Structure 1
């Protein structure tokens, strides 16, 4: 996504400009070619040398330098850019961009380029909410600019309100989202489940599993970066919501089933990467279950506590049954939904995966051995086998979960071409 992308980062004269240093550094580390353009007063907050060090490239600022080289370069920069991101965008520069001014290097490049424009406003709260600033942002939005909304929080002035520049992770997410708007999932709606489920025993205890949600979140981010509208149905995890992704949080398997069923009507793809609990307590206690010693009951201290479990719904299998019934009755099938399942196994991976693939009538099934140290729960890597409905099996090497996510989407995309 970012590798070899040519990104111009425009730095305006505001206190939030120091936050752009990390953004430029991370873009460069991701393989992007980053050209930084600073407005006249941006250097009062962060020196050009700092950005040159982070980008490993020359920094531009003066459109009117005596050699005339900058006047020529601004056209080349504009023509070669894949994205122009103004971070932070001050009220003054936003007004200039809305008015079509070209009185400095940044605004001249902005007027000359046909690359997407991303703006991350950061300023005092009353400047941001002023009707003039809002009108300028709305005008730029109508022209196709992508606006990264500022956060509400404590500002440099000490006041609290809207105007804080979002963190680097959000800015990177926004950049990736804009770059991916014309990707191979553009216009598609995908649903991804992630994490485990918690099945309550009483108000303070539950049955759960070790799923961290990392694989599902990686799948959601990759889909966003390819242009999809993503609904991420997430069980309880310790991961932040990825930028630009709709997240619906659930706790139990039944809640996850209901969330999936209520959202698949207009979906193109469903990937069930969540580790949904197979069983749940039949009757969760309304109050905390107290430990009572065996001696208090006139019994031995070794008395066991019994918990009656019932089976949870199998979401993918239940989805397959109506499809099979329609086929048997020769009815017109409903909208085609590409369905991908996951199988976290500890033994007999191939046999178990083939059985699940057939029983749930899946397009693909991704299986892994969770006892491995490099592909178990909470790891950043995964070692998977991809099973196809036609019997083919792919054995992928150990990869980062982000790379596994890309590999899975590479195999899903061809299915969409047949829809």
Structure 2
């Protein structure tokens, strides 16, 4: 969800600034582009070098850097950010923010920012309880800023009470929860299938195909980014998910995939079957490796279960079911037949006749056909952008 998000992290003078290192690492690990702005006092508690190393970007603390002759433009920094996180937020900095004071780079960036602002207070108990601090915090909240409440515990002064900065993991979770609140698929459950299936011939050989799973993985990631609770049923693939909230179920054969899908489907609002399921499997599977003793070898094949048709039969009112069709001839006609036969809400048509094909590529060219046989053609584009187009169609249906 934070992948490719531009995040400015403001660090103020506080003993809690040591937690900023862990917070920076977690944000980068989540896929965010992180830049750090420090106050002068913050540099007494944690070095800019530490945060620069962890963020993989220069750290800003002054308007003008005399060593490089560079002007750090606070307006550009504020406009660059998708969100601004102040952690730790000292009583001094909160007072400046609340009253529009602008005597350092961080306060200038705050006043220039057009993005959501999160602040995690960190201070001693008496400072936290002081009416002036509470007034400043209420002012900041009234401006639309979001406070990540401090925790109760032992403080640097030796007192025990409120004032401890929230832990980095708690800050990340707070941001993710807030970010999800306005997402269009919040509260929806989605099922996605991806990759090939392998149908065993003997212990070392199988029938399979060239599907990489990239399309299904991109769809799963984007559905999750839209707020859905996603289960991905994946055939054998080397791909990894960047969104760790997605529930991944690894399977091998078509029968394995069917059972996993039936288990999940009844509770899902949205199901997208993009897996390239093998149509046939060996009638008998050898227990031992088949030796190459004969110049000819024949294999009796039987049909694998039709996962999409089975889900179409099980489909209830309100559920959205989407399938894929990979065709080499009579493409639209065959796709429409599949759409109607399997009770789909729309079908995504791929053509093997398009330049570069479909399998193993990072790009895809699709046509979406709905139940009214209306066709929407899209140009060749990266599969993560194709996923956006497919999910937009789902949003239109909802």
Give the corresponding residue for 1:396.
378
Gaps of at least 5 residues in structure 2 are: 12-16, 61-71, 79-83, 130-135, 150-160
Give how far 1:42 is off. 3.5
Give how far 1:24 is off. 11
Give how far 1:379 is off. 1.3
**Is contact 1:201–1:284 with CA below 8 Å preserved after alignment?**
yes
Q: Secondary structure at the match of 2:326?
A: strand
Give the corresponding residue for 2:77.
57
Give how far 1:315 is off. 1.2
Give the corresponding residue for 1:189.
189
Give the corresponding residue for 1:339.
321
Distance in 2 between the 1:365 and 1:25 partners?
Answer: 32
Give the corresponding residue for 1:331.
none
Summarize the Cα distance change of 1:96–1:246 in structure 2 as closer, same or farther, 3 Å threshold: farther
Summarize the Cα distance change of 1:242–1:96 in structure 2 as closer, same or farther, 3 Å threshold: farther
Give how far 1:8 is off. 3.1
Summarize the Cα distance change of 1:13–1:78 in structure 2 as closer, same or farther, 3 Å threshold: farther
Report the RMSD for the aligned CA atoms in angstroms. Answer: 4.6
**Is contact 2:4–2:32 with CA below 8 Å preserved after alignment?**
no
Q: TM-score with structure 2 length normalisation?
A: 0.69
Gaps of at least 5 residues in structure 1 are: 29-33, 87-92, 103-107, 120-131, 149-173, 295-302, 324-333
Summarize the Cα distance change of 1:403–1:139 in structure 2 as closer, same or farther, 3 Å threshold: closer
Distance in 1 between the 2:258 and 2:124 partners?
Answer: 47
Give the corresponding residue for 2:337.
355
Distance in 2 between the 1:10 and 1:255 partners?
Answer: 49
Give the corresponding residue for 1:126.
none
Give how far 1:5 is off. 7.1
Distance in 2 between the 1:207 and 1:85 partners?
Answer: 55
User: What CA deviation, in whole Å up to 9, does each residue of 1:288-346 have, x standing for no partner?
Assistant: 22222x4xxxxxxxx211111110111111233356xxxxxxxxxx4421000011222
Give how far 1:394 is off. 0.6
Summarize the Cα distance change of 1:240–1:23 in structure 2 as closer, same or farther, 3 Å threshold: closer
Give the corresponding residue for 1:309.
301
Q: Secondary structure at the match of 1:280?
A: strand
User: What CA deviation, in whole Å up to 9, does each residue of 1:204-230 have, x standing for no partner?
Assistant: 111111111111111111111111111
Summarize the Cα distance change of 1:46–1:357 in structure 2 as closer, same or farther, 3 Å threshold: same
Give the corresponding residue for 1:122.
none
Summarize the Cα distance change of 1:291–1:222 in structure 2 as closer, same or farther, 3 Å threshold: same
**Is contact 1:370–1:376 with CA below 8 Å preserved after alignment?**
yes
Q: Secondary structure at the match of 1:230?
A: strand
Q: TM-score with structure 1 length normalisation?
A: 0.66
**Is contact 1:84–1:116 with CA below 8 Å preserved after alignment?**
yes
Give how far 1:26 is off. 5.8
**Is contact 1:8–1:83 with CA below 8 Å preserved after alignment?**
no
User: What CA deviation, in whole Å up to 9, does each residue of 1:131-186 have, x standing for no partner?
Assistant: x9xx9868995xxx4449xxxxxxxxxxxxxxxxxxxxxxxxx96x8634421111
345-354 vs 270-279, greater mean Cα deviation: 345-354
**Is contact 1:366–1:384 with CA below 8 Å preserved after alignment?**
yes
Give the corresponding residue for 1:273.
274
**Is contact 2:218–2:387 with CA below 8 Å preserved after alignment?**
yes
**Is contact 2:265–2:311 with CA below 8 Å preserved after alignment?**
no
- Report the number of matched residues: 338
Q: 1:395-414, aligned counterparts within 5 Å? A: 395-414=377-396
Q: Secondary structure at the match of 2:211?
A: coil
Give the corresponding residue for 1:242.
242
Give the corresponding residue for 1:282.
283
**Is contact 1:18–1:46 with CA below 8 Å preserved after alignment?**
no
Give how far 1:193 is off. 0.6
Give how far 1:350 is off. 1.2
User: Would you say 1:82 and 2:102 are equivalent positions?
Assistant: no
Q: 1:18-417, aligned counterparts within 5 Å? A: 27=33, 36-37=37-38, 39-40=42-43, 41-46=45-50, 50-52=58-60, 57=77, 68-70=101-103, 73=107, 76=110, 80-82=114-116, 84=118, 112=140, 141=170, 145-147=171-173, 179-243=179-243, 244-292=245-293, 294=294, 303-321=295-313, 334-416=316-398
